[in-house]
Structure 1
Amino acid sequence: MEIDAIHATPGYSGFFFDDQRAIKAGAEHDGFTYDGEPVTEGFDEIRQAGESIIVDVELADGTEIRGDCAAVQYSGAGGRDPLFRADAYADVIEGPVNDVLEGRDANRFLENAERLEGLEIGGDRLHTAIRYGVSQALLGAAAHAAGTTRTDVLADALGTEPASEPVPVFGQSGDDRHTNTEKMFIKGVPVLPHALINSVEKIGEDGETLLEYVEWLVERSQELGPAGYDPRFHIDVYGMIGEVFDAPYDRNEVIDYFGALEDAAAPYPIQIEGPMDVGDRAAQIEAMVELRDGLADAGVDVDIVADEWCNTFEDVRAFVDAEAADLVQIKTPDLGGIHRSGQAVRYCEETETRAYLGGTCNETETSARACAHVALATDAAQVLAKPGMGFDEGYMIVENEMRRTIARRERAARTDADADTPVDEVTAND
Structure 2
Amino acid sequence: MQIKDVLLVPGAGAFFYDDQAAIRAGAIQDGFVYIGEPVTPGFTSIRIPAFSLSIGLVLGDDTVVWGDMMGVQYSGAGGRDPLFDASQISVFTSRVVVPRLLDVDVSRFRTSCAKVFKPVERQRLPSAVEYGVSQALLRAAAHLQRKTMAEIICTEFDLPLPTFRIPIYCQSGDAREINVDKMIMKGVDVLPHGLINSRQKFGVNGQTFMEFVRGVAARIRDFGRPGYHPVLHFDVYGWIGHEISLEPQQIADFICRVADSVPGFTLNVESPADFGSTQAQIENYAKIVSILDSRGSDARIVVDERCNTLEDIRLFAEAKGAHLVQIKTPDVGSLADTTRAVLVCKANGVGAYVGGSCTETDLSAQASVHVSMATQADMMLAKPGMGVDEGFSIVGNEQNRLLAILNRRATENVR
Is the pair's TM-score, using the shorter chain for normalization, greater than 0.5? yes
In the alignment, residue 88 of structure 1 is paired with which amino acid? Answer: Q
Kept after mapping to 1: 8 A contact 2:104/2:115: no
Q: Secondary structure at the match of 2:269?
A: strand
Q: Secondary structure at the match of 1:348?
A: helix
Q: Secondary structure at the match of 1:55?
A: strand
Q: Select the residue among 325, 331, 335 that pairs with 2:332.
A: 335
Q: Identity of aligned pairs, percent?
A: 43
1:141 matched to 2:133: no
CA radius of gyration, larger in: 1
Q: Which residue of 2 aligns with 1:325?
A: 322
Q: Which residue of 2 aligns with 1:75?
A: 75
**1:400-411 pair list within 5 angstroms:** 400-411=397-408
Pick which of 324-333 and 103-112 moved more: 103-112
Q: Which residue of 1 aligns with 2:307?
A: 310
Q: Which residue of 2 aligns with 1:34?
A: 34
1:214 matched to 2:184: no
In the alignment, residue 12 of structure 1 is paired with which amino acid? Answer: A
Name the CA distance, whole Å, in 1 between partners of 2:118 and 2:131: 13
Name the CA distance, whole Å, in 2 between partners of 1:118 and 1:82: 20
Q: Secondary structure at the match of 1:125?
A: coil
1:184 matched to 2:165: no
Q: Which residue of 2 aligns with 1:427?
A: none
**1:8-407 pair list within 5 angstroms:** 8-120=8-120, 122-251=121-250, 254-407=251-404
Kept after mapping to 1: 8 A contact 2:109/2:141: yes
When the two chains are superposed, the root-mean-square deviation of aligned CA atoms in Å is 1.3
Q: Secondary structure at the match of 1:393?
A: helix
Name the CA distance, whole Å, in 1 between partners of 2:10 and 2:324: 34
| Cα separation, partners in 2 of 1:205 and 1:91, compared to 1, 3 Å | same
Q: Give CA-to-partner distance per residue, 1:355-401, whole Å, 9 cap, x none.
A: 01000001001000000001101000000000101111000000100
Name the CA distance, whole Å, in 2 between partners of 1:411 and 1:95: 43
Q: Secondary structure at the match of 1:308?
A: coil
In the alignment, residue 89 of structure 2 is paired with which amino acid? Answer: Y
Kept after mapping to 2: 8 A contact 1:4/1:103: no
Q: What TM-score do the two structures reach when normalised by structure 1?
A: 0.94
In the alignment, residue 281 of structure 1 is paired with which amino acid? Answer: T
Name the CA distance, whole Å, in 2 between partners of 1:163 and 1:73: 30
Unmatched 5+ residue regions in structure 2? none
Name the CA distance, whole Å, in 2 between partners of 1:247 and 1:277: 8
Q: CA deviation at 1:123?
A: 4.6
Kept after mapping to 1: 8 A contact 2:173/2:194: yes
Q: CA deviation at 1:103?
A: 4.3
Q: Secondary structure at the match of 1:383?
A: strand
Q: Secondary structure at the match of 2:386?
A: coil
Kept after mapping to 2: 8 A contact 1:117/1:336: no
Unmatched 5+ residue regions in structure 1? 419-430
Kept after mapping to 1: 8 A contact 2:246/2:275: no
In the alignment, residue 406 of structure 1 is paired with which amino acid? Answer: L
In the alignment, residue 158 of structure 2 is paired with which amino acid? Answer: G
Q: CA deviation at 1:68?
A: 0.4
Name the CA distance, whole Å, in 1 between partners of 2:239 and 2:328: 20
Q: CA deviation at 1:224?
A: 2.0
Name the CA distance, whole Å, in 1 between partners of 2:173 and 2:245: 25
| Cα separation, partners in 2 of 1:27 and 1:224, compared to 1, 3 Å | same
Name the CA distance, whole Å, in 2 between partners of 1:417 and 1:179: 47
In the alignment, residue 140 of structure 1 is paired with which amino acid? Answer: R
Q: Secondary structure at the match of 1:349?
A: helix
Pick which of 223-232 and 192-201 moved more: 223-232
In the alignment, residue 141 of structure 1 is paired with which amino acid? Answer: A
Name the CA distance, whole Å, in 1 between partners of 2:124 and 2:253: 45
Q: Which residue of 2 aligns with 1:424?
A: none
Count of equivalent residues: 415
Q: Secondary structure at the match of 2:353?
A: strand
Q: Select the residue among 404, 409, 412 that pairs with 2:409.
A: 412
Kept after mapping to 2: 8 A contact 1:55/1:133: yes
Q: What TM-score do the two structures reach when normalised by structure 2?
A: 0.97
In the alignment, residue 118 of structure 1 is paired with which amino acid? Answer: K
Q: Give CA-to-partner distance per residue, 1:174-204, whole Å, 9 cap, x none.
A: 0111110110000100001011011121111
Q: CA deviation at 1:295?
A: 2.1
Q: Give CA-to-partner distance per residue, 1:35-68, whole Å, 9 cap, x none.
A: 1111111111111111100110100000000110
In the alignment, residue 304 of structure 1 is paired with which amino acid? Answer: I
Name the CA distance, whole Å, in 2 between partners of 1:395 and 1:265: 25
In the alignment, residue 58 of structure 1 is paired with which amino acid? Answer: V
Q: Give CA-to-partner distance per residue, 1:212-268, whole Å, 9 cap, x none.
A: 1111111111222222111000100000011111132214xx443222211222211
Name the CA distance, whole Å, in 1 between partners of 2:191 and 2:412: 37
Name the CA distance, whole Å, in 1 between partners of 2:162 and 2:289: 30
Name the CA distance, whole Å, in 2 between partners of 1:166 and 1:295: 29
| Cα separation, partners in 2 of 1:162 and 1:297, compared to 1, 3 Å | same
Pick which of 40-49 and 85-94 moved more: 85-94
Name the CA distance, whole Å, in 1 between partners of 2:161 and 2:275: 37
